[in-house]
Amino acid sequence: MNKQEVALLSKEIEMLMNERARLLRVVGAAAVLVANTDAENLPAAVVDAAEMLSETLNALPEETLKDALDSVRAETE
């Protein structure tokens, strides 16, 4: 690999890491929202959406979810 290819790959990795950090913040915020939502006070359509979000979050690997919660400084039990 030449210097230009290495620089290009380095820049791409940096962009991907920044995107991952942003996505982890979104996932962390979504997890906090679901954890603090009282389904009894929501319309049925919102409950359905919250359940779908909850199932999606629960399907994540534990380490990814932990990283996401850490990114928003959420308290975990």
Residue for token pair 């909850």: 54
Cα distance between residue 9 and residue 32, in whole Å: 34
Token pair for 33 = 């929202």
Tell me the Cα Rg of the chain: 17
pLDDT for 76 equals: 59
Closest by CA position to 52, among listed 75, 33, 66: 33
pTM for the whole structure: 0.82
User: pLDDT for 22-74, tens place per residue?
Assistant: 999 999 999 999 999 888 889 999 999 999 999 999 999 999 999 999 999 97
